[in-house]
Amino acid sequence: MITIQDTWERVFDGPSREEIEGLLPAFLTSSRWFGGKAKTIRSARFSDVLRVNMDAATMVLGFVEVSYGEGAVETYTVPMTAAFGQKADRIRRDHANAVIGSLNVVGPQGCQEGLLYDALWNEDCAYSLLNSMGRRAQFQGRSGTLVASATPLFDDIPISQTTAPVSVMKAEQSNTSVKFGNRVIMKLYRRAEPGVNPELEIGRTLTTRRFRHSPALVGALEYTHEGDEPITLALAQTFIPNQGNAWEYTLSELSRYFDGVSHLNPGLAYPDPSAIRMLNSPPARADLFFGYLDAAHLLGRRTAELHLVLGEGSRDPAFAPETCPSSYLKSRVNAMCLSATRALTLLRGRLSMLSASDQEQGRQVLKQEPAILARLGGLITVPPTAMRIRCHGDYHLGQVLYTGHDFVIIDYEGEPARPLAERRAKHIPVVDLAGMIRSFHYATHMALRQYHEIHPTKREVRELEPWAHHWYQSVRAAYLTGYRTVAGRASFCPQSRQDFNILLDVHVLEKAIYELTYELNNRPDWVAIPLGGILQSFDASAASSDYGDRADRVEDENDPCSSEQPR
């Protein structure tokens, strides 16, 4: 227990500051948003401490500089406040991971025993941070200044503790989000990096351009330090009522699909061409897909609408579309091939640790190494006609909300593990399409696993796998058709169907390779999904052609990528 004089805020002065810093490693490693769990913490110290006192709240915003034994250094944002008596007991009981350490404050009224903890779990503190945006407040630290800002929308949203109760959302991993009733969501970025966060940057643009299928930006907090780029600490957005994310919706629809397949005539256990033709008739599609093909088509349209807004001309260099020179393609190929080589080397080293079936798939993937590198290298053969624009950057079903009748796209910060400069880079937006297609593939196999666990006595997984593949290919085709219907002759869409398919196949393969590395390091039990995706990617062109042609016959007149060139 740390003993201090007068007030708890004095804990950051003198020797007690070092005592608190000694407690930080244990607090950080117990926090789900901390990204350095796999590393050895050498030290954790405050690089700056700002007192943020507004209304009834008293809190301190600390910047914790973490040094690792491996030599890397990262900075994390930790808002802190204190609790005493029964309130402290409640925090210990209900939010133990939010506790940093115990305090003993000796003041004029005697001794008070309490604790120092993460201030986002304090309603007054959460409201204080949000309200500081509306007041455009500034708070000075020793090294920098916390600058709050707001859009005109902030003043139009009535927010109070009686009408908008506070709740910390538990689904976050690398950040912490706080919901204020059904009005606003505030996200605190735990990892502090110099430079504007893509989510704030893109949020400002989408709000200014009135894109209706994303939350509107309400306010932001940034930390400025002389000589450095501002650091985005937090942003607030409008809350969009929803029925969950598109991942959850898709798993639910897949469960219905597998249930429908399980009740088909056993003669249709394996979808031969005649069975597929039967299923593709309107009544059968309605019975098995339950409207999900229409939903996938709509999601493709919304994706295209997002790209059209992000691809508008702009005087802001960060959003002005750029050409795609051959040098860009070469740099992408070099990066992708390096990533693939590392992933396959990792697979080779971990192969003996996998299950027998995963080992067999792994050996098949390793045999394909020359073909994989050749496929990735094929990107250089694409004429660089498409423009590069800002993209979502980490696009998958979990980044989309389902409202019950439409989709809303969220979370534009990119992949948190990548450097900020990479997340702000411009690309041909087919990278987003590849991310969503891989998400459809993941959902298919996750739903298949779940269905077998819930219904172990029904058809075996091997009997449902062909139907799962049929669902994936049908949904993929519907999504791409929806996208092409809206994208039109946009400058970022390759005008040759052949170029479009090459770009898509390469980026789908790249995404599956990235997933392989992730699963080997984090969830080896899931490694079969990216392994299967890599192997299937060599059939993707043919499959895309089969299903794509069928869909194109419906809406080919709207297809911007149609061409007389052969596939």
pLDDT at residue 172 in the model: 63
Report the alpha-carbon distance of residue 384 to residue 356 in Å, rounded.
43
pLDDT at residue 53 in the model: 84
pLDDT at 542 over 50: no
pLDDT at residue 283 in the model: 58
Which distant-in-sequence residues (6+ apart) come within 8 Å of 59 by Cβ?
Answer: 51, 52, 53, 79, 80, 81, 119, 122, 125, 128
Which range scores top for mean pLDDT: 181-185, 274-278, 295-299? Answer: 295-299
pLDDT at 541 over 50: no
Report the alpha-carbon distance of residue 38 to residue 54 in Å, rounded.
37
Write down the CATH number for the domain with range 257-558: 3.90.1200.10
pLDDT at 544 over 80: no
Higher pLDDT, residue 284 or 221 = 221
Q: At CA 28, angle to CA 76 and CA 66, rounded to 5?
A: 50
Least confident window among 253-257, 313-317, 405-409, 538-542 = 538-542
Q: What is the mean pLDDT of residues 213-241?
A: 94
- With H, G, I as helix, E, B as strand and everything else as coil, classify residue 538: coil
Residues 42-92 pLDDT 10s: 999 999 999 998 877 889 999 999 999 988 899 999 999 999 999 999 999
Q: How confident is the model at residue 284 (pLDDT cuts 50, 70, 90)?
A: low
Q: What is the mean pLDDT of residues 534-541?
A: 76
Residue 146 backbone class (left: φ over 0; alpha: ψ -120 to 50; beta: rest):
beta
- Compute the residue count for the chain: 567
Report the chain's mean pLDDT, rounded to a whole number: 88
Q: How confident is the model at residue 371 (pLDDT cuts 50, 70, 90)?
A: very high
pLDDT at 554 over 50: no
pLDDT at residue 260 in the model: 84
With b for 16 or more beta-carbon neighbours within 10 A and e for fewer, the 440-461 pattern comes to bbbbbbbbbeebeeeeeebbee
Residues 290-340 pLDDT 10s: 889 999 999 999 999 999 999 998 889 999 999 988 888 899 999 999 999
Q: What is the mean pLDDT of residues 224-233?
A: 89
Residues 85-135 pLDDT 10s: 999 999 999 999 999 999 988 977 788 899 999 999 999 999 999 999 999
pLDDT at residue 282 in the model: 58
pLDDT at 7 over 80: yes
Residues 131-154 pLDDT 10s: 999 999 999 999 999 999 999 999
Least confident window among 5-19, 96-110, 249-263, 456-470 = 456-470
Report the alpha-carbon distance of residue 202 to residue 194 in Å, rounded.
17
Percent of the chain topping pLDDT 90: 67
Query: Which run of H or E residues covers position 167?
Result: strand 166-168
Report the alpha-carbon distance of residue 411 to residue 415 in Å, rounded.
10
pLDDT at residue 426 in the model: 94
Which range scores top for mean pLDDT: 155-159, 204-208, 496-500? Answer: 204-208
- With H, G, I as helix, E, B as strand and everything else as coil, classify residue 362: helix
pLDDT at 20 over 50: yes
Residues 347-356 pLDDT 10s: 999 999 999 9
Report the alpha-carbon distance of residue 399 to residue 247 in Å, rounded.
8
Higher pLDDT, residue 335 or 173 = 335
Residue spans of the domains in the chain: they are 2-238, 257-558
